[in-house]
Chain A
Amino acid sequence: MRKYQLDLTLKHLSKPRPGYVLLQLTDPSAPLPEMLPGQFVEVRVDSSASTFLRRPISINLVDRQENELWLLVHVVGPGTQAMAELNTGDRLNVVVPLGNGFTLPQRPASEGEPCAEGSSESAVAPRYLLVGGGVGTAPLLYMGQELVRRGCKPTFLLGGRTSSDLLQLDLFGKFGEVFVTTEDGSAGERGFVTQHSLWQTATAEGGARVYDRICTCGPKPMMMAVARLAGEKGIPCEASLENMMACGLGACLCCVEDTRDGHVCVCTEGPVFPTDKLKW
C-alpha cells in the first residue's frame, strides 16, 4: 500500500475524557489515501521541543464522507501533550499508512452482503470478537467500521480501569454488540476483560457464542491473557503491539519483536501479529 507524507489540517479537537484527545484531521486538497484498520500513522510533533522523533498513533476511524482521519490519543508525555494542545486549523505532518493491519474478511461482491474469509467455503460472515483495553480500543473502532462494511457483525469487549477510561462506546455501539468491564466495577462487569462472562460460552464452533477470530489491542498483560484464552478455545487471535519506534518504515530495526521467526520489525511486519507467532 502506497505511503504518503501529508500535512493534514486539524478540523476538530475534542476531549472525550480527561487525559484523552480525539483529533479529527482532514486533507483539504485531496481525498485521504487508502488505509486499513490496525495500520498507524507517524505524527511529527513540531510544537514540543523535547519531542524529537515522530510518534506512532493508530488509525481510529476514517470518515470518507467528511474526508477525515481520526486519531485517539492518550496524553502520557510531552509529545501526546503537544497533540492535545493543538488548535483547530493547525497543520499536523503525518506519514501514512504504516504497518500491516488486522486480517479482514474478503470484500463482499456488493456492499452489506455476507462475506467469507479468504477462500473459506462457509457462507456465513466470519464472526469477530474485538477485545480492547484503554486507548488500545482506538484501532478497533475502525476495524468495526470496516467489518460492518464487509457484512460482518463484530462483538466488542472493551475494558478500562474505571468508567472514565472507556471511550467512544456510542460509536462502537453502531457497529456491533458492546460488552464492557472495569476494574472498579463503575461500568459493565467488574474485573479484567478476560474475566467477562461472555468467555464462558465463547467457542470456536458449536456453542452459544461462536467466534472465528479475535483481535486484541491494549496493555501487553491484557493482550497476553486474551491470547491465552483464545488459545485454550482454539480461536485464532491477533494482537497489535506497541513497540518503541524510530522510523516506522522498516529501515532502522529499532522496533523489533523477538518472535518465533526471530527479530521482526513491528512497524512493517506488524503491528498486528497472530499471537501464536509471539513468544508470549
Chain B
Amino acid sequence: MADLTTHIGSLELKNPVMTASGTFGYGLEFADLVELDQIGGIIVKGTTLEPRQGNPYPRMAETAQGMLNCVGLQNKGVDYFCEHIYPEVRKIHTAVLVNVSGNSPETYAACAARIAELEDIPAIELNISCPNVRQGGMAFGVTCEGAASVVKAVRAAYPKTLIVKLSPNVTSIADIARAVEAEGADAVSLINTLMGMAIDAEKRRPILSIGTGGLSGPAVKPVALRMVWQVFDAVKIPIVGLGGIMNATDAVEFLLAGASAIEIGTANFIDPAVTVKVVRGIEEYLDRHGFRSASELIGLAHQS
C-alpha cells in the first residue's frame, strides 16, 4: 500500500487531506459522522485576538455548484480558544492547525504568539484576506506590501510552521506568493474564497447582508487549480491546494498541479464524511497507478 505521509515544512501529516478553515468548525462538530483521527489535518475556524460577532444574517446564498458566504470571522477570540477549545481538540489524533486572522500586523502577531504557546498545535494558517483597518478595509492579501507586512510581523512572533493562505482576488497570485516566501513563510495555501455576489430578482436586492461574499465549492475549482499551477512555478516552499475539491480525483489534480497537501471545505456540508473518502480514494489512485507514495504526485503535471 502506498505511503500517504506528507510534509509541509517541518510539519508531518499522516496523509495530504486537511479540512478548510470555517467549514469544519473545530472538528468536534463532525465527530459522530467521520473518523477524525483518519484525517491528515484539521484547520479550525478563523481565530482573532478579540471576540468577533461577525456579519448580520443572511450570511449565505447558494449558487450554481457552490455557495457564497459572508460570515465575517465570527469567533470567541483566541483566549476562549486556548481555555475552552484547545483542551478538547488536542485529544484528536491528528494535526490540529489554527487559522489566524487580524486587522493589523500587530493583532495578527499577538494572536499567533498566543497559539505558539499551545504545545499540540504544530502550525498556523494565516488568513491574509481580512480587511486592513488602517488602509480603509482593503485586504492585506491583495497587495505584496500588505501581505509581506503581516507575514513579517507574525514570523517574528511564531517559530513553528507558518502557512500563509492567499486570496485569489488579485492580479498576480504568483507575486503575492513570492512576497510571503521572502518574509519567511514555510508554505502557502490557496485559494481562499473568490469575491462574488447574489441578487434576489423578486425582492430586487442583494441576498447577503453586506452585499458581497466569498464564493466556494466546485464553481471555483478551475480557478484554484490554475493558481496552484502558477504558484508552483513561482516559489520553492510547499503549497497546500484547495478550492472546490469534492472527491479524490479533484484532490489528485491539485497534487499534480503542485500541491503537497490539500484542504476540503464546502464539500463537508454535502458529505460530512468526504475527507476520509478522499484519503481512501487517493490511496486507491496511487495503488492503481503503481506509485509508492503520494509525494511522487506533487507537480507531476508540469513535467508533461
| Chain A residues within 8 Å of B, Cβ to Cβ | 2-5, 44, 50-54, 95, 243-244, 246-258, 262-263, 268
Contact = CB atoms under 8 A, between A and B. Distances in A.
Contacts of B25: 249-252
Given A5-B273, A247-B268, A252 B69 contact: yes
B33 interface: yes
Interface secondary structure of B, over-half rule: loop
Interface in B45-76: 45, 53-54, 56-60, 62-67, 69, 71, 74
Contacts of B122: none
A2 B30 CA distance: 11
A51 B24 CA distance: 21
The 7 closest A-B pairs by CB, nearest first: A251-B25, A254-B60, A3-B32, A247-B269, A249-B29, A251-B29, A254-B59
A74 to B, nearest CB: 17
Contacts of B217: 52
Contacts of A95: 33, 272
B212 interface: no
Given A3-B33, A4-B33, 10 more contacts: A5-B273, A52-B66, A54-B269, A247-B23, A249-B29, A251-B269, A252-B22, A255-B57, A256-B54, A258-B56
Interface string B13-57: 000000000111100011011000000000001000000011011
Contacts of B30: 249, 251
A194 to B, nearest CB: 25
Interface of B: 22-25, 29-30, 32-33, 45, 53-54, 56-60, 62-67, 69, 71, 74, 217, 266, 268-273
Contact of B32 (A4, A51, A248): A4
B57 A257 contact: yes
B208 to A, nearest CB: 10
Nearest to B72: A253
Contacts of B272: 5, 95, 249
Contacts of A263: 53-54, 57, 74
Contacts of A51: 62
Given A5-B272, A95-B272, A254-B59, A52 B67 contact: yes
27 contacts: A2-B32, A5-B271, A52-B62, A52-B67, A53-B62, A53-B67, A53-B270, A54-B269, A95-B272, A244-B60, A246-B269, A247-B23, A247-B29, A249-B25, A249-B272, A251-B24, A251-B29, A251-B269, A252-B269, A253-B22, A253-B45, A253-B54, A254-B71, A255-B59, A258-B57, A263-B53, A263-B74
B58 A52 contact: no
A137 B24 CA distance: 32
B29 A246 contact: no
Contact of A244 (B58, B271, B273): B58
A52 B61 CA distance: 11
Nearest to A46: B270
Contacts of B57: 243, 255-258, 263
Nearest to B61: A244
Contacts of A50: 64
A54 B65 CA distance: 12
A3 B30 CA distance: 9
A125 B174 CA distance: 68
A253 B74 contact: yes
B143 to A, nearest CB: 28
A255 B60 CA distance: 8
Contacts of A258: 56-57
Contacts of B65: 52
Nearest to B31: A3
A27 B251 CA distance: 32
B104 to A, nearest CB: 23
A133 B22 CA distance: 35
A251 B268 contact: yes
A3 B272 CA distance: 11
Nearest to A267: B29
Contacts of A255: 57, 59
A130 B71 CA distance: 34
Contacts of B266: 246
Contacts of A52: 62-67, 217, 270
A243 B58 CA distance: 8
A271 to B, nearest CB: 14
Given A251-B30, A252-B23, A256-B54, A53 B59 contact: no
Contacts of B271: 5, 44
A246 B63 CA distance: 12
A253 B269 contact: no
Nearest to A268: B29
Indicate the member of B66, B69, B270 with the most A CB atoms within 10 Å: B270
A95 B24 CA distance: 15
A262 B80 CA distance: 16
Indicate the member of A243, A252, A256, A258 with the most B CB atoms within 10 Å: A252
A263 B56 CA distance: 8
A44 B246 CA distance: 14
A253 B33 contact: no
